[in-house]
Amino acid sequence: MGSELRTLPPAHSGGTELMTLVGAVVRAMGATLKNLFRKPITVHYPDKERKYPNRYRGLLALTYDKETGEENCIGCRLCEYVCPPAVIKVEMLKSEKRNYAKTFSLELYACEFCELCVQVCPTDAIVMMKSFDMATADRREMLLDKDRLHSIGLKYEESWATGNKLRDMQTPPKAPAPAHAKPAAAAAAPAAAPGGADPVGPRAETV
């Protein structure tokens, strides 16, 4: 009795499944044939280095002044204050002419690469590089001190983005002054009367 009430599948269901399977195979093979004759885009790293875009942001580094050779970092600790995961630690060294960073450490394994430290730096001391090449199996190698950060800055090419450039780019432009507007001083000064007479009129003399 129960077997008689059992509904049988439609007779055409097997054909529909077969057509769906054949269509999927045809689409997959079409994608394979389409890419078979395309030029490969795989870069065989590290035998061949990849060309990075101008605004690529990779490793963080400290910089030197190209003219004087001194460290750009003044130990102001703005990067430490703004860092969301708090991976930057800076200790200031005060001097007569200027301040320096006595110690500078960065925990790269916990860095978010948000670039906020670069944006707030007043001297462009911390920048991001056009490279990510720091693979290691030891977590301690990702704890960077001041010397290693400087060596990274000398080894790789800097990204376009520096603190001053980013701030200049984000600052809204000033509206130009109207051409017909007169300076305030010229507008406030009274016009000279003809013949050199005083435009205010006769004045009483003081005794």
Q: pLDDT tens-digit profile of 139-195?
A: 889 999 999 999 999 999 888 888 888 888 888 878 777 776 555 555 555 555 555
Is residue 109 assigned to a domain? yes
Is residue 182 assigned to a domain? no
Q: How far apart are CA 88 and CA 108, in angstroms?
A: 9
Is residue 31 assigned to a domain? no
pLDDT over 70 for what percent of the chain? 80
Total domain count for the chain?
1
Is residue 186 assigned to a domain? no
Closest to 80 (Cα-Cα) out of 71, 72, 90? 90
Is residue 176 assigned to a domain? no
pTM listed for this prediction? 0.62
Going by their DSSP bridges, the two strands 143-144 and 60-62 should be labelled as: unpaired
Which residue is it, tokens 């999927």? Answer: 24
Give the pLDDT confidence of 29-74 residue by residue, as tens digits.
998 888 888 887 788 877 887 788 888 889 999 999 988 889 999 9
Is residue 17 assigned to a domain? no
Is residue 142 assigned to a domain? yes
Tell me how far apart the terminal alpha carbons of the chain are, to the nearest angstrom: 136
76: CB partners within 8 A, 6+ apart = 92, 99, 122
Question: Which residue range(s) make up the domain with 72?
Answer: 60-169
Is residue 112 assigned to a domain? yes
Report the CATH number at residue 162. Answer: 3.30.70.3270
